[in-house]
Amino acid sequence: MKQTMKKMVDERINKESNELLAKFYWAALAMQAAVLIVKLILQAELLRWALDAIIILAGLGVMMALRTVRSLWGKKDEALKEMDNSVLSTSFGTMLWVALLGSLLLMFGNGEENALWYGSTMLPVLIASGIYTVIAIKRGLLLWGGERNKGSAKPRLRKATTLGALFFGIVMGAPDCFSGGAFQVSGLVKIFLMAAMWGLMFYGMMVLAINRGEKSANKNLEEVEADAEE
């Protein structure tokens, strides 16, 4: 009985999470298009706006492909709507990874003079991800997956945080690594310092948020069980 109730709560969390990400997919897409339009109006060089176009095409391409494969075009009932939200959630994830990896490569290649241009490319997905995270924390959607999964979930969070921290450090410190055509050790130091500061702060906040989410989920599970007994 308890396992059945827990499954119901997990399904509710997954459903609500996909609903949120589906909305933020469209928001991120609109913001990315706005950034691209502004850059084109300013007659920016190709390299300064190409990634914006790639992010938009990637997000739309994945969405259209998955909708076609799963026959999700047209009117949808509740079940098809849930499937479509899952598609849009995946599409948003694609946009996020393309933005992060693309910006990372650009920063390494030519970040000294174009940090502001490349930084603006990441803003739409980062803003959408940040707002989603805040809402997910408040609604208890971020979970370890129970005590049995907590042991493996924490290392995954540490790995993800490490990658994110290194990315943040590189974005902030890469422009300082080269000056006058010469490598600057101070820039490398800045990368590791910024990564350490961001990583420790983010990891601590996420652990607290997920623990809070677990308590909220357990409370919801107890309420569902109480209603079932009645």
Q: What are 5-43's pLDDT values in tens digits?
A: 455 556 677 788 889 999 999 999 999 999 999 999 999
Q: Residue 188: what pLDDT?
A: 78
Q: Residue 2: what pLDDT?
A: 45
Q: Which two tokens stand for residue 12?
A: 């509710």
- Which residues, in sequence order, are bridge partners of residue 183? 178
Q: Residue 218: what pLDDT?
A: 64
- Cite the beta strand spans of the chain per DSSP E: 178-179, 182-183
Q: Residue 22: what pLDDT?
A: 92
Could you tell me what percent of the chain has a pLDDT over 90?
Answer: 25
How many residues in the chain?
230
Q: 């992060």: which residue's tokens?
A: 100
Q: Residue 24: what pLDDT?
A: 94
SS3 182: strand
Q: How far apart are CA 46 and CA 44, in angstroms?
A: 7
Q: Residue 5: what pLDDT?
A: 45
Average pLDDT over all residues of the chain: 79
Answer yes or no: is pLDDT of 72 > 70: yes
Are 58 and 95 a contacting pair, CB within 8 Å? yes
| CB neighbour list of residue 107: distance below 8 Å, 6 or more residues apart | 115, 118, 170, 171, 174, 175
Best CA proximity match to 49, nearest among 114, 94, 125: 114
Best CA proximity match to 27, nearest among 142, 129, 102, 99: 129
Mean pLDDT across the stretch 103-113? Answer: 71
Mean pLDDT across the stretch 141-159? Answer: 66
Q: Residue 185: what pLDDT?
A: 78
Q: 């694609």: which residue's tokens?
A: 94
Q: Which residue has the higher pLDDT, 169 or 86?
A: 86
Give, in order, the Cα–Cα distances in Å from 22 to each of 25, 26, 68, 99, 210.
Answer: 5, 7, 17, 18, 22
Angle made by CA atoms 100, 103, 106, in degrees to the nearest 5: 150
**Picking from 29-33, 60-64, 142-146, 198-202, which range would have the lowest pLDDT averaged per residue?**
142-146
Q: What is the DSSP letter of 76?
A: -
Mean pLDDT across the stretch 153-171? Answer: 76
Mean pLDDT across the stretch 152-176? Answer: 74
Could you tell me what percent of the chain has a pLDDT over 70?
Answer: 76
SS3 63: helix
Mean pLDDT across the stretch 128-134? Answer: 85
Q: Which two tokens stand for residue 111?
A: 């970040």
Are 72 and 63 a contacting pair, CB within 8 Å? no
pTM over 0.75: no
Q: What is the DSSP letter of 72?
A: -
**What is the chain's percent helix, strand, coil content, to nearest 5?**
85, 0, 10
Q: Residue 144: what pLDDT?
A: 60
